[in-house]
Structure 1
Amino acid sequence: MSKFLNNKYLTLDTYTPGEQPQDMQYIKLNTNESPFPPAPNVLKAINSREIENLRLYSDPECQNLREKLAGLYGVSSDQVYLSNGSDDILNFAFMAFSGNGTQAAFPDISYGFYKVFANLQGTQYTEIPLKEDFSIDYQEYCNLDKFIVIANPNAPTGLTLSISEIERILKSNPNHVVVIDEAYVDFGAESCYPLINRYENLLVVQTFSKSRSMAGARLGFALGPKELIADLNKIKYSTNPYNVNRMTLLAGEATIDANDYYLEKCKVIAQNRDYTTKELEKQGFKVLPSKANFILVKYEGIEGKFIYEQLKKSGILIRHFSTFRIKDYNRITIGTKEQMNVFLREVNKIVSEG
């Protein structure tokens, strides 16, 4: 760290991404990526002619993709916002709707970036503990009078709030924005985006990274009342208007055209999740009931870190967290049936040997 760094960033705790080791070929079940490739028409969209057009700036309004998303979700195009991954949108939301006297609130066990963004923007925040079963108590978020961010399904638990519970949070906090981060919603949960026409304080954030096989392309979108979308655009046009590149926009448009392909892959991943859950429970694991493309599991009597380390030696990456309440758990991304069978075989060896 240099002597020139602004003092307000000296103590900033950064987000720790899932590891991406290059020393060998791994079965990657650690970063919630899709095990399936993009749809064939997406690959066709990224052709040599379009690569030549990289000399040109991208459309800052992302008009074609916004219109396609609006059509898919049955909203108007001015209720759609696009950016360089959902992380970008979350950061802009903290920038736009918190700080300057407005505090934030989010679960104590959730997506690690929320705390980072709050600190980055100088926002005071409250981390609300999950219940003993790791679920979110929606009543803890009612009448908070704060900027609220909730992942639904939550990460890394995979547990969900109902739409009616989210609606109660919205009703009781009319003077502050409530962000519902739906990065994993397509794997079996219900989106609350239909509520954006009823609540002026709701912003729904989704991503192309998980269910649409585009983690490496960096593309996220938000759905909300047009006034909130205009607020995000104000931030965007004050930082980087061209923050979604030409190739990503083309891939995104082709992805929406192939929506049925991705819905089918989500269904397969959900089936693999349920299969893996049952097989792990047969082995003696405790598995939280997930609606995401991952599961959070533990084996009583064996440290989560030990299981993680042994699987890594076998060429399988999973995610271990050092957070006290979940340090005995590991998060396992759901891959193909073949990948999950390899994982199940190797983890069975570990618990059998103790």
Structure 2
Amino acid sequence: MSKFLSKEASRLAPYTPGEQPTDAQYIKLNTNESPFPPAPKVVKALSRAEVLKLNLYSDPTCGRLVEAIAKRYELQSENVITGNGSDEILAFAFRAFCGEGKGLAYADITYGFYKSQVALFGLDAKVIPLREDFTLNVDDYMDFPGTIVIANPNAPTGMTVSRVDIQRLLEADPDRVVIVDEAYVDFGAESCVPLIYRYDNLLVVQTMSKSRSLAGGRVGFALGSPELISALNRVKYSFNPYNVGRLSIVAGAAAVEDEDYFQTCTAAIRNNRKWTVRELEALGFTVLPSQANFIFAKSDKLPGGELYQKLKENGILVRWFDADRIRDYIRITIGSLEQMAALVDEIARLLEEV
């Protein structure tokens, strides 16, 4: 550790990203990316003329992108903010709505970025365990007076909370912000976007990394009341006004406008997920009910860490978390049907060797 590191920085808990190999030797099912290329409208929009504008700063308001998102979700521009991936939006939200006297509550098994941001901003946090079956019960959050963040669907489990339950949280205390992180909502879960006009304490965060094939473009956004969005912009303009690049603004707007491609890709992932679950269950796996573009599964024949390692040695990357309660599981991104068939075949072969 560097001798120049501050005490504050030494207390950080950095998020560990999934492996990103630079070669093409792996079937990559570890970071919940889309197996499909960006939409045709995105490719067309990223013209030479747009590239030649890279000598100029991007629009700090991200107007073109904001308008496209607002139209898609039947909201107004003042209900939308965009960011460099949803991680940046979450960071803005934690900075805006948490601090002295106002902590953050989140689940013990959820997206690891929340813990990292708590450490970065020095926030008080209440970590609330999921139930034994990995469900999140909103009754466990009812008495918490600060900001609440719920990944819905949750990661890495893929399990969901109903919109009705989120509504109960919103109504129980109108003076606290409830952040619903919907990074994976487009693969079958129930979005809370329809509640935005009814509850000014609801912030919905989404990303274009998964369902719109723009993980490398880094485009995230939040939807909420004008007051919440204004608070996020206050943080943004104190940190990085030009937070979304020119090409990402263009790509994001085009991706939102290519609705047919979006529907085709998300339907394919849902079908491939269903097929994969069926095949793994036939091999004796326990698979949690997922509405995301990944599944969380375990085998009684091979521990999670060993299965992860053997798959990696044979050219397939999945995600394994060396953590209490979930150590026996692996998280598997749903890719193309060909990729999933290769995974199932390799797992079947490994089980035969046990």
TM-score w.r.t. the length of structure 2 is 0.98
Deviates more, 1:62-71 or 1:215-224: 62-71
Alpha-carbon separation, structure 2, partners of 1:213 and 1:112: 22
Alpha-carbon separation, structure 1, partners of 2:7 and 2:173: 34
1:91-240 matched pairs, under 5 angstroms = 91-240=91-240
Alpha-carbon separation, structure 2, partners of 1:309 and 1:336: 22
Deviates more, 1:185-194 or 1:2-11: 2-11
Instruction: Give the counterpart letter for 2:125 in structure 1.
Output: Y
Once the two structures are superposed, residues 27-64 of structure 1 have per-residue CA deviations (whole angstroms, 9 ceiling, x without a partner) of: 10000000000111211111212111000111100111
Q: Tell me what 1:344 maps to.
A: 344
1:1-354 matched pairs, under 5 angstroms = 1-22=1-22, 25-354=25-354
- Kept in 2: contact 1:58–1:246 (CA 8 A): yes
Once the two structures are superposed, residues 307-346 of structure 1 have per-residue CA deviations (whole angstroms, 9 ceiling, x without a partner) of: 1011111110000001110000000000000000000000
Instruction: Give the counterpart letter for 2:300 in structure 1.
Output: E
Alpha-carbon separation, structure 2, partners of 1:351 and 1:227: 55
Alpha-carbon separation, structure 2, partners of 1:116 and 1:331: 20
SS at match of 1:169: helix
Runs of 4+ in 1 over 4 A off after TM superposition: none
Instruction: Give the counterpart letter for 2:149 in structure 1.
Output: V
Alpha-carbon separation, structure 1, partners of 2:234 and 2:11: 29
- Kept in 2: contact 1:81–1:222 (CA 8 A): yes
Unaligned runs of 5+ in 2: none
Alpha-carbon separation, structure 2, partners of 1:137 and 1:246: 41
Deviates more, 1:177-186 or 1:249-258: 249-258
Deviates more, 1:310-319 or 1:300-309: 300-309
Instruction: Give the counterpart letter for 2:147 in structure 1.
Output: F
Alpha-carbon separation, structure 1, partners of 2:32 and 2:104: 26
SS at match of 1:332: strand
Instruction: Give the counterpart letter for 1:69 in structure 2.
Output: I
Alpha-carbon separation, structure 2, partners of 1:328 and 1:33: 23
- Kept in 2: contact 1:203–1:222 (CA 8 A): yes
Alpha-carbon separation, structure 1, partners of 2:221 and 2:24: 34
Of all paired residues, the percent bearing the same amino acid is 55
How far did residue 302 of structure 1 move? 1.6
Alignment RMSD, CA only? Answer: 0.9
- Kept in 2: contact 1:143–1:169 (CA 8 A): no
Number of aligned positions between the proteins:
354
SS at match of 1:130: coil
Once the two structures are superposed, residues 152-195 of structure 1 have per-residue CA deviations (whole angstroms, 9 ceiling, x without a partner) of: 00000000000000001111122111100000000000100111
SS at match of 1:106: strand
How far did residue 351 of structure 1 move? 1.4
Alpha-carbon separation, structure 2, partners of 1:168 and 1:257: 33
Alpha-carbon separation, structure 1, partners of 2:352 and 2:305: 16
Instruction: Give the counterpart letter for 1:201 in structure 2.
Output: N
Unaligned runs of 5+ in 1: none
Instruction: Give the counterpart letter for 1:35 in structure 2.
Output: P
SS at match of 1:102: coil
Once the two structures are superposed, residues 96-150 of structure 1 have per-residue CA deviations (whole angstroms, 9 ceiling, x without a partner) of: 1011110110000000000110111111101110111111011101131121000
Alpha-carbon separation, structure 2, partners of 1:260 and 1:301: 42
- Kept in 2: contact 1:144–1:173 (CA 8 A): no
Alpha-carbon separation, structure 1, partners of 2:34 and 2:23: 22
Alpha-carbon separation, structure 2, partners of 1:96 and 1:65: 23
Instruction: Give the counterpart letter for 1:104 in structure 2.
Output: L
TM-score w.r.t. the length of structure 1 is 0.98
How far did residue 11 of structure 1 move? 2.0
- Kept in 1: contact 2:301–2:351 (CA 8 A): no
SS at match of 1:105: strand
Alpha-carbon separation, structure 2, partners of 1:23 and 1:152: 33
SS at match of 1:15: coil
